[in-house]
Amino acid sequence: MKAQQIITHLAVLALLVALEARATPPADGENMPAMGLLCPAHQLANGEIKLQPDQAKLEADLQDLLALNMSLADRSWVAQFRAAPDGAAAPPQGNPQQKQQAGTPQELEAWRAAKATVDDTENFKNVLAKYGYTPENASQLMPLKGVIAQYAEAAFDIQEAEKTKVPTGHTDDQLKTLIKTAVYGHNGGYDVSKKAELGFPDSENREAACTAQSNSNPVKTIAGMVACLCTVKDNMAPAKAPCGPYGGEDLKWGTTTPPGNALWKKMRSSCPEEPKKRVTAMRIQNALTAAKLAFQAGGSDLYVGKYDGTGCDGSTNTACIKYTNQAQNSVPIFTKAEWLEKLQTVQSELQQRLLAEQSKSQVIRQIETLKQLVKAATKHAEKLTPPTTQHQSDPKLATANDKK
């Protein structure tokens, strides 16, 4: 059993035992078990969030192969991609009675880019060099015109087909905002001036706010739960530190507001930041599993933290969270835990990205194989007999006539 799993099991055991505890005022460290379960979710929003995998496009390097194919294609077909003075594609050249077949926007973009490479003397010289040729002996490649066209078309089609599978979903920035909002209620850090976003829109003391009185939702955000669990009521003296550090006497809820920003680092002292750890689907899943275990229930009431059996005022009674009618048959209901759905969305999309990444890697290997086959064929092009017939190409990456 891994260390983190052992810690999780011990924390759950401590919470279950706590439900049977005698009525007592808050004590130092009493909510560390609950904080230990919430901590992995809390840490997701630390520092600069780095997602893995991040949002990436399928970018196999086809430009050299497409440029080589373009350089061997029929001139009357190639001419239609000559750049016009204004930068637009020039109108088709040759027989005006000959109807040119339209390509897809993706094909047209690829052809124009390939033609631009061919027209740039230095760039095209570099392309030929990769295949072991120079502008002076490139004509030796003509016998391979059809083969290269077939490989170019196959590689392009494989890439375009894969692009349709890449999940769109949210952008990286949107997913990062979801994580921040799940933890802090907004795209930022702990900020008592945004107490409504935290889950506490009204001006209330700790007891009212953390027991879901009026409009309060003490389980709306991770930070809102931490604020309830790790501070005591403003009038408790001497004050205690339910989440540590032991002996702290300033971790108090405001008279009518959540604890101030200056107390945040001390409140979360038992949950150190992990700003350089990448956020993955598996990490979020593990964090969600742990965080949900912090939720306990008795009858129809939901509890988070040590419950003394009588109340959660954070002064006479323990510093817990109580939410009436958010459990059924002593099973927690997570409807009010808005952070849960947000993090589940991020987890799901990162999982989709991971699957797409694996598929993309396979596609890139297929394309690289085709490119290597072209290179292998070009090594002996000079020994082949040049084609004697003129080909009338239609606008495909690999034309039907060129394949003959």
Give per-residue pLDDT as tens, 215-224.
999 999 999 9
Confirm whether 159 is domain-assigned. no
Total structural domains in the chain? 1
Confirm whether 368 is domain-assigned. no
Confirm whether 95 is domain-assigned. no
Confirm whether 397 is domain-assigned. no
Cβ atoms 205, 295 nearer than 8 A: no
Confirm whether 72 is domain-assigned. no
Is residue 10 pLDDT above 90, yes or no?
Answer: no
Highest mean pLDDT among 134-143, 356-365, 392-401: 134-143
Q: Which of 165-169, 298-302, 355-359 has the lowest mean pLDDT?
A: 165-169
| Percent of the chain surpassing pLDDT 90 | 53
Predicted local confidence at residue 75, as pLDDT: 84
Confirm whether 267 is domain-assigned. yes
Arithmetic mean of pLDDT over the chain: 84
Domain carrying residue 277: 3-47+170-351
Confirm whether 76 is domain-assigned. no
Confirm whether 292 is domain-assigned. yes
Confidence of residue 392 (pLDDT cuts 50, 70, 90): very low
